Chains A and B, each alone.
Chain A
């Protein structure tokens, strides 16, 4: 499987290079993606917790927002 493409634009020379990620770049990319997935999962869990609390209180998100000064 080919690695993802990236674009590099040298603004001084106005030269654009489109190339495949190097092996090293791809390793970092995968690790970063993994970290991002974890971050997104945490954000989703936080949103789900928030919704669960709103459901318990019988409030909509807009109504809850009104309670915040």
Chain B
């Protein structure tokens, strides 16, 4: 072993040092080791060690940002519309899943944000290969909600709302499937408010007869 040590450079006693100097020599050695390791003290359960800078032995304990999805609400669909309000604002994106929904009559299903019933939505929709689009309408559109449940007959919708809590124009993307129909689309909202409530409904005086809407917050 070299003296001072490699790679840390801790000074150890020399062969020629007097025995009486050993306590002082070890004090120098021990303090150098302790100083090098100082950043390894501290931290709390679950934290990990990260580099605090590019400098050797410069560490800090940190809590890793948690990712993944957190279930914010589970709501059974009913009535002409179902609204989930007071949506938690601490996530980056919203992921909404509508599972096995059905209604009293096969008609368009739609959504509205923050209870906005004004002509403030733009939609671009491809339903079974047929394009449809428009702006200045009072609802954002999905597709057609079916009239029965099941893995094939039920209506399933996956909706993503990126940056929902930001004060900027919002885009929502969705995929819907029901029976032999497939809908793919994107809606925009002419409002920059953070989204705090989400309403799903069916048109033409129909009512939703069942199904579940799950809202997840995504970090």
In contact, B85 and A9 (Cβ under 8 angstroms): yes
Known: A31-B138, A32-B203, A39-B137. A7 touches B79 (CB 8 A): yes
Give the distance in Å from the alpha carbon of A65 to the alpha carbon of B130 in the complex: 11
Question: Nearest-CB distance from A47 to chain B (Å)?
Answer: 7
CA A28 – CA B203 in complex, angstroms? 12
Asked if A7 and B130 make an inter-chain contact with CB atoms under 8 angstroms apart, the answer reads no
| B interface majority secondary structure | strand
| Contact stretch, chosen from B12-20, B39-47, B70-78, B173-181 | B70-78
B65-90 to A contact mask, C-beta < 8 Å, 1/0? 00000001101111111111111100
Q: Contact at B86–A10, with CB atoms within 8 Å?
A: yes
Report the nearest B residue to A4, measured CB to CB: B80
Q: How far is the CB of A9 from chain B (nearest CB, A)?
A: 4
Q: How many residues of B contact A (CB 8 A)?
A: 32
A36 touches B204 (CB 8 A): yes
A5 located at the interface, meaning its Cβ lies under 8 Å from any Cβ of chain B in the complex:
yes
- Nearest B residue (CB) for A20: B79
Most buried by B among A6, A7, A10, A28: A7
With both beta carbons as reference points, the residue of chain B lying nearest to A61 in the complex is identified as: B129
**Contact residues, A1-31 vs B (CB, 8 A):** 4-14, 16, 18, 21, 28-29, 31
Considering the complex, which residues of chain B in the window 167-219 have a beta carbon less than 8 Å from any beta carbon of chain A?
Answer: 203-205, 207, 215
**Residue pair B85, A33 in contact (C-beta under 8 Å):** no
- CB contacts (< 8 Å) of A12 on chain B: these are 85-86, 88
- Contacting pair A5 B117 (CB below 8 A): no
- The residues in B between 131 and 163 inclusive whose CB is less than 8 angstroms from any CB of A are 132, 134, 137-139
**A36-B108, A36-B204 known; A6+B85 contact, CB < 8 A:** no
Please report A residues at the B interface, Cβ cutoff 8 Å. 4-14, 16, 18, 21, 28-29, 31-33, 35-37, 39-40, 43, 46-47, 50, 65
Sample of 21 A–B contacts (CB below 8 Å)? A5-B79, A7-B76, A7-B77, A8-B83, A9-B73, A9-B82, A11-B72, A11-B84, A11-B86, A11-B88, A12-B85, A12-B86, A13-B86, A29-B80, A32-B203, A33-B204, A39-B134, A40-B107, A43-B130, A43-B132, A50-B130
